[in-house]
């Protein structure tokens, strides 16, 4: 074992992963499973049988989708699972730290706190539309950081990090830290995925999910894309049979011949609706600012966010309040719905403004 894997916790590098019962077909008397199905169970494999301990067919399908080799894919229970696994593999409690760039996705900090790892905050530059302060990130990483979490497009601000910046960060922290780029919303962006940098930078990891553009939030299927030795370490700490059979079957539907064209049409519609909603909101007296976004959401500053949230809820519309976060005073995040849902939102906000 060499290279980036040397950054992992020594006890994880020495770990002998649990070996579950083989998942081969046949008369299965090796896994202490029930031999009968529930009466309502019409699934192909049967829910009385364990799913694959590590779903290789799904890993191969995700590798094709993300255009990487299957050895660089660890299938996870959404991106949240990948975040937690990376913390467990690389960070020793009370010793190692991570870098986060708020305002951003809160699970990076939560997972670090659960693991007992320290958190170094390098705020995004609010005066520059929440651009990344890459020089400050590099400086902070020198203070015992093993993982640098970057969200691109960033949740909730919507801006993306240029690949050039990601490459520069990987070079700057080579040998000391892993750069983790969370691309949960990348399909809604015009920017290419950082996965094309994986072959050049072994200390890069990319998180992807089927929850957003692929509309499988309830299935909880994600992927960690990284160097093969990082993937092996992560797989070693995952519990066996982590992903349910129903989730695996749902995700394998990606292989359908008509699927990709359908998804691309829906992504284009989301981008059109994002632009339309941005213009409509910006013209409202109740709105102070609408930030540009590469995600399937808009960050909006209102004159009176509490009143807006209250009125929207009275009309059955739920929005996300971010006012409590630093640099996001009076800000609300609005997910892009379908045209009818967006029309209902605009009508409700116009009604609020005229009230």
Helix (H), strand (E), coil (C) string for the chain: CCHHHHHCCHHHHCCCCCCCCCCCCCCCCCCCCCCCCCCCCCCCCCCCCCCCCCCHHHHHHHHHHHCCCHHHEEEECHHHHHHHHHHHHHCCCCCCEEEECCCCCCHHHHHHHHHCCEEEECCCEHHHCCECCHHHHHHHHCCCEEEEEEECCCCCCCCCCCHHHHHHHHHHCCCCCEEEEECCCHHHCCCCCHHHHCCCCCCEEEEEECCCCCCCHHHCCEEEECCHHHHHHHHHHCCCCCCCHHHHHHHHHHHCCCHHHHHHHHHHHHHHHHHHHHHHHHCCCCEEEECCCCCCEEEEEECCHHHHHHHHHHCCCCCEECCCCCCCCCEEEEECCCHHHHHHHHHHHHHHHCC
220 and 270 housed in the same domain: no
227 and 271 housed in the same domain: no
Q: Lowest-pLDDT range, 12-16, 17-21, 261-265, 285-289?
A: 17-21
Average pLDDT, the chain: 94
82 and 45 housed in the same domain: yes
Per-residue pLDDT at 355:
65
299 and 280 housed in the same domain: yes
- Asked which of 255, 286, 320 is the last residue of a domain, the reply is 255
249 and 266 housed in the same domain: no
324 and 311 housed in the same domain: yes
* Residue 31 φ/ψ, nearest 5 degrees: -130, 10
- Asked which of 255, 274, 296 is the last residue of a domain, the reply is 255
CATH number assigned to the domain comprising residue 293: 3.90.1150.10
73 and 218 housed in the same domain: yes
Rounded distance between C-alpha atoms, residue 198 and residue 68, angstroms: 9
244 and 99 housed in the same domain: yes
Among candidate residues 306, 327, 309, 330, the one with its CA nearest the CA of residue 318: 309
CATH number assigned to the domain comprising residue 224: 3.40.640.10
**pLDDT interval class at 97 (50, 70, 90):** very high
Per-residue pLDDT at 202:
96
Instruction: Yes or no: say if 13 and 96 are a contact pair by the CB < 8 Å rule.
Output: no
**pLDDT interval class at 44 (50, 70, 90):** confident
315 and 183 housed in the same domain: no
91 and 158 housed in the same domain: yes
250 and 311 housed in the same domain: no
pLDDT in tens, 107-118: 999 999 999 999
Instruction: Yes or no: say if 101 and 124 are a contact pair by the CB < 8 Å rule.
Output: yes
Query: Alpha carbon of 150 to those of 43, 200, 241, 255, 320: distances in Å?
Result: 39, 18, 29, 30, 21
Per-residue pLDDT at 2:
53
244 and 181 housed in the same domain: yes
Taken in order 9, 11, 13, 19, is the CA torsion positive or negative?
negative
Domains identified in the chain, total number? 2
Residue 256 or residue 268, greater confidence: 268
- Asked which of 191, 223, 255 is the last residue of a domain, the reply is 255
Residue 1 scores a pLDDT above 50 = no
**pLDDT interval class at 238 (50, 70, 90):** very high
- Rounded to an integer, the average pLDDT of 303-312 is 96
Residue 24 scores a pLDDT above 80 = no
**Domain span at residue 98?**
3-255
pLDDT in tens, 118-163: 999 999 999 999 999 999 999 999 999 999 999 999 999 999 999 9
Among candidate residues 80, 87, 199, the one with its CA nearest the CA of residue 151: 80
Reported pTM: 0.95
């Amino acid at each position: 074992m060499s290279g980036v894997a040397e950054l992992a916790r020594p006890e994880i590098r020495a770990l002998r992963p649990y070996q579950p019962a083989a998942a081969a077909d046949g008369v299965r008397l090796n896994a202490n499973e029930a031999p009968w199905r529930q009466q309502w169970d019409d699934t192909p494999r049967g829910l009385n049988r364990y799913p694959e301990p590590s779903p290789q067919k799904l890993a191969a399908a995700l590798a094709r989708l993300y255009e990487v080799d299957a050895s660089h894919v660890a299938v996870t229970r959404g991106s949240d699972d990948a975040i937690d696994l990376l913390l467990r593999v690389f960070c020793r409690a009370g010793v190692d730290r991570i870098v986060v760039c708020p305002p951003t996705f809160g699970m990076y900090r939560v997972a670090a706190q659960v693991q007992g790892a320290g958190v170094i905050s390098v705020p995004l530059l609010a005066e520059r539309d929440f651009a990344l302060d890459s020089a400050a990130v590099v400086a902070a990483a020198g203070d015992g950081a093993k993982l640098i979490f970057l969200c691109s497009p960033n949740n909730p601000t919507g801006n993306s990090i240029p690949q050039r910046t990601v490459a520069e960060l990987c070079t700057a922290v080579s040998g000391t830290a892993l750069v983790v780029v969370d691309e949960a919303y990348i399909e809604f962006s015009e920017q290419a995925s950082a996965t094309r940098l994986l072959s050049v930078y072994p200390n890069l990891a990319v998180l992807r999910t089927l929850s957003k553009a692929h509309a499988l939030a309830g299935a909880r299927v994600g992927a960690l894309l990284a160097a093969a030795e990082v993937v092996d370490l992560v797989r070693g700490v995952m519990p066996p049979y982590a992903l349910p059979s129903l989730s695996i079957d749902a995700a394998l539907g990606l292989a359908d011949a008509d699927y990709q064209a359908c998804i691309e049409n829906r992504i284009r519609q989301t981008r059109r609706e994002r632009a339309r909603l941005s213009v409509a909101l910006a013209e409202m007296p109740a709105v102070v600012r609408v930030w540009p976004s590469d995600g399937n959401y808009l960050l909006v500053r209102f004159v009176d966010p509490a009143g807006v949230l209250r009125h929207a809820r009275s009309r059955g519309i739920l929005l996300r309040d971010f006012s409590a976060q630093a640099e996001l005073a009076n800000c609300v995040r609005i997910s892009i719905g379908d045209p009818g849902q967006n029309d209902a939102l605009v009508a409700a906000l116009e009604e609020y403004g005229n009230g």
